[in-house]
Structure 1
Amino acid sequence: MREDVSFQTSDNVTLRGWFYKPSEATNPLPCLVMAHGFSALKEMDLNTFAEYFVASIPITCLVYDNRGFGDSDTKDGQPRQEIIPAQQTSDYSDAITYAQSKSEVNKDKIGVWGSSYSGGHVLWVGAVDRRVKAVLSQAPCVDGWANFHRLIRPDFVAGLNQLFQDDRHSRAAGKPAAVIPVVDYDVHKPSALPTPDSFDFFTAWAGKSKWKNEVTAFREYMPAAHIHHISPTPLLMTVAENDVLTPTDLALEAYNRALEPKKLHILPGGHFEAYAGSNFERNVQVQTEFLKKHLCS
């Protein structure tokens, strides 16, 4: 059901991942393109989603690591562990192109799935890439500016702003890129995702995957700026009712700006509870029904 694949981006970076298909498939099927969120890797539960979809409905899934993370390359001379939203959204479109090139895929039925940071990416891609016929956005980051100032302690902001400025000058001088931890147990130290549930989720994967607890210095962006332009492509937004990492109220406000057809699914619990346990079953069943109706009909 799963094969290792690789494909080239428009700027000649090799991205690597998995292609899932039903073992009994004979005709070209729809394809769901999937990538993970902030610093996360495909092994961190994306396989569970893809396996469920492929086992439940006639669909294929292309799952890949973002550039510079996990099994994917980065551009020569550029650092790994770097998150540049414009590159990651462009890579989604390149992944769509690759999926359309496969004989097992119906090129006219492509969906995009993202979670957390990439949950924001698919809002952008769904609005600007009209090849997308369904958008599934899970616990999305919708407003990077607001998210940054919700997560980062006010007394840390000035130091991080200085880090961003110094990093620009250091890179121009040929020095290595500055990095910060993704998570840190010490609340007195700055990190990219300074919430207890983030620390628990990521450190649980530290010893059993290629995940690294560092990212380069980054700035926020506004992935939901064009959410009202996704229509008439169907949108499913999954929101955790107690999300403190990508705050619930920000996601709901963005959803209200989206046009029909759209569906909102509110899950109990926090940001990471969409991936496991009873919440996973509740979550993936709704996503599967949405795909069945809008992409696999």
Structure 2
Amino acid sequence: MRRDISFKTEDGVTLRGWHYLPDGRTGRVPTIVMAHGFSAVKEMYLDRFAEAFAAAGLAALVFDNRNFGASDGEPRLEIDPWQQVRDYRDAITFVQGLEETDPDRIGVWGSSYSGGHVLVLGAIDKRIKCVVSQVPLASGHDNALRLIRSDTIAAVRGLFDADRRARGAGEPPAMIPVVSEDPAGPAALPTPDSWTWFTETGRLRAPSWKNEVTLRSVEMFTEYEPASYIRSISPTPLLMVVALGDVLTVADLALAAYEKALEPKKLVTLTGGHFDAYVNDFAAASSAAADWFRRHLLAA
């Protein structure tokens, strides 16, 4: 069963999403808190993951990140990773207060950018009893160096500086496309598979998705280091799902981060690329996550 929900963050922004409950629920149930990655909205396959968790006997709270989709927030289309981490924590507070939720059995699931967020959350918020991080961003700095040509890095930093000066003078933030059909064109996520997935998924499933973010969002991406928290997740159980063909949140950085995590932990590898986790490898990714949550939340 799915119903629409909304809740306010500590700073008063209304976030909106869905609350899923398993069929035949009796009493309070473990609940998974979920949000999407860089610029994506909940209709971009998060419903399928939440349905898989509900079928496994778990509740799920799915919400759009602030400034995107159905959620409020200004400036629109801006991604502040630390604000998104705080919003996850407010979502946990909200869902713990629902009569259907067992407040002592909360899990978090994230993918891509939010796959990095849940690494931070698992370390800093011990209300969380289980973590699943799918195709995660491990290091914004190192990942950016894989996506930005070395001969253009100085020019990109110059754009960040110019945008900062313009904002300081009262001008609106500069914008950049999320994806581009031209691999050499300006884009926050400059890979061919990013263009294909975002444009096709947006057209078929998520008309509210916009192919634009603030340039400042990209600057904040380069400063974000979620894997620096990974050793502190323990003793909370961590499952990491890595796509071995991932060239966006590149696989070797995620695998290196996993090696630094302490037990209990588990690694599941997928054969495809970054976006196959949502489509071609969905069955493997969702079943691994559901099994991990069932093991550590339903058995608790």
TM-score higher than 0.5 here? yes
Conserved 8 A contact 1:81-1:216: yes
- SS of 1:205's equivalent in the other structure is helix
The 5 Å alignment of 1:44-123 reads 44-55=44-55, 57-74=56-73, 78-123=74-119
Deviations 1:205-244 (A, max 9, x none): 3334211111111322101111000000000000001110
**2:261 corresponding residue in structure 1:** 258
Q: How many residues are aligned here?
A: 292
The 5 Å alignment of 1:155-174 reads 155-174=151-170
Alpha-carbon offset, residue 188 of structure 1: 2.6
| Partner residue of 1:128 out of 124, 130, 133 | 124
Alpha-carbon offset, residue 282 of structure 1: 1.6
Alpha-carbon offset, residue 143 of structure 1: 0.4
In 1: Cα distance, 2:66 partner to 2:184 partner: 30
- SS of 1:237's equivalent in the other structure is strand
- 1:231 matched to 2:234: yes
Conserved 8 A contact 2:32-2:109: yes
Give ranges in structure 2 of 5+ residues lacking alignment.
none
In 2: Cα distance, 1:156 partner to 1:174 partner: 27
In 2: Cα distance, 1:187 partner to 1:235 partner: 34
Alpha-carbon offset, residue 158 of structure 1: 2.0
**2:42 corresponding residue in structure 1:** 42
In 1: Cα distance, 2:20 partner to 2:253 partner: 33
Residue 274 of structure 1 aligns to which amino acid in structure 2?
A: A
Percent identity of paired positions between Structure 1 and Structure 2? 55
In 2: Cα distance, 1:189 partner to 1:24 partner: 51
Conserved 8 A contact 1:126-1:233: yes
In 2: Cα distance, 1:156 partner to 1:186 partner: 16
In 2: Cα distance, 1:59 partner to 1:29 partner: 6
- 1:22 matched to 2:30: no
Give ranges in structure 1 of 5+ residues lacking alignment.
none
**What's the Cα RMSD here?**
1.0
**1:283 corresponding residue in structure 2:** 285
Give the TM-score, by structure 1 length. 0.96
In 2: Cα distance, 1:234 partner to 1:295 partner: 10
Higher mean C-alpha displacement, 78-87 vs 124-133: 78-87
Alpha-carbon offset, residue 195 of structure 1: 0.6
Deviations 1:265-287 (A, max 9, x none): 0110110111113x211221111
Residue 70 of structure 2 aligns to which amino acid in structure 1?
A: D
- SS of 1:90's equivalent in the other structure is helix
Alpha-carbon offset, residue 58 of structure 1: 1.9
Conserved 8 A contact 2:239-2:267: yes
Conserved 8 A contact 1:205-1:211: no
**2:143 corresponding residue in structure 1:** 147
Conserved 8 A contact 1:156-1:190: no
Runs of 4+ in structure 1 off by over 4 angstroms are none
